[in-house]
């Protein structure tokens, strides 16, 4: 899932559509596609888990599987984020700040307010902060998605197995 997400990001970067500023027109489409990608990979993980076991999956097993899948994917994706911010676009922060300044000036804020907002933007768009923010928000997202997905896809083991035993043949 992490590699597929990186692949999508690289394609968007090559096409000139990768935008960390959040100002792009296609941001909602990319977010929707990433969400769909997450759901598909979690379903594939659930299927593999059930096929590799006894065909059942408890709520806890499903939660652990999907949460771990998302977190590992995010950690792999952070490699792309680091490469993007430090190698491919080392001036990405200036682009984000320029977009922020244009938006703030259009809203009619005074220069002092704009300066304060830009100061916060500089802090919040540093590679360290963006990486930490990505981990925290992804963990919250992973909990919510994992709770919903595991509740929907769990398949409880029966209390009394229906397999044939010696007693059932008598």
The two tokens of residue 114 are: 């704009």
What is the extent of the structural domain holding 101? 2-156
**Residues 149, 66: contact at Cβ < 8 Å?**
yes
Please, which residues bridge with residue 155 across strands? 57
How far apart CA 105 and CA 110 sit, in angstroms, is 8
In the three-class reduction of DSSP (H, G, I as helix; E, B as strand; rest coil), residue 67 is classed as helix
Any domain includes 161: no
Tally the domains of the chain: 1
Mean pLDDT by 10 residues, the chain (170 residues): 84 74 65 88 93 89 94 91 84 82 80 83 84 92 94 85 57
Any domain includes 144: yes
Can you give the C-alpha Rg of the chain in angstroms?
22
What is the pLDDT, as a whole number, of residue 148?
A: 95
Please, which residues bridge with residue 57 across strands? 155
**Residues 153, 55: contact at Cβ < 8 Å?**
no
Any domain includes 163: no
What is the pLDDT, as a whole number, of residue 25?
A: 62
Any domain includes 41: yes
pTM for the model stands at 0.76
Any domain includes 166: no
Where helices occur in 16-91 by DSSP H, the ranges are: 27-52, 59-83
Give the phi and the psi of residue 62 in degrees, each rounded to 5. Answer: -65, -40
Any domain includes 167: no
CA 8 to chain centre: 13
| Helices vs. strands in the chain: H and E counts, helices first | 6, 0
The two tokens of residue 159 are: 């209390």
């Amino acid at each position: 899932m992490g590699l597929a997400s990186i692949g999508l990001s690289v394609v968007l970067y090559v096409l000139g559509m990768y935008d960390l500023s959040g100002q792009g027109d296609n941001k909602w489409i990319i977010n929707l596609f990433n969400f769909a990608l997450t759901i598909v990979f979690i379903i594939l993980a659930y299927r593999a888990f059930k096929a590799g076991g006894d065909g059942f999956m408890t709520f806890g097993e499903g939660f652990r599987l999907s949460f771990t899948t998302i977190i590992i994917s995010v950690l792999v994706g952070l490699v792309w984020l680091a490469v993007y911010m430090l190698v491919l676009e080392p001036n990405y922060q200036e682009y984000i700040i320029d977009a922020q300044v244009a938006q703030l000036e259009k809203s009619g804020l005074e220069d002092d307010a704009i300066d304060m907002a830009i100061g916060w933007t500089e802090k919040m768009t540093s590679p360290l902060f963006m990486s930490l923010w990505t981990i925290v928000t992804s963990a919250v997202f992973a909990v919510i998605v994992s709770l919903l997905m595991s509740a929907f896809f769990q398949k409880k083991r029966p209390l009394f197995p229906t397999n044939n035993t010696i007693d059932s043949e008598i």
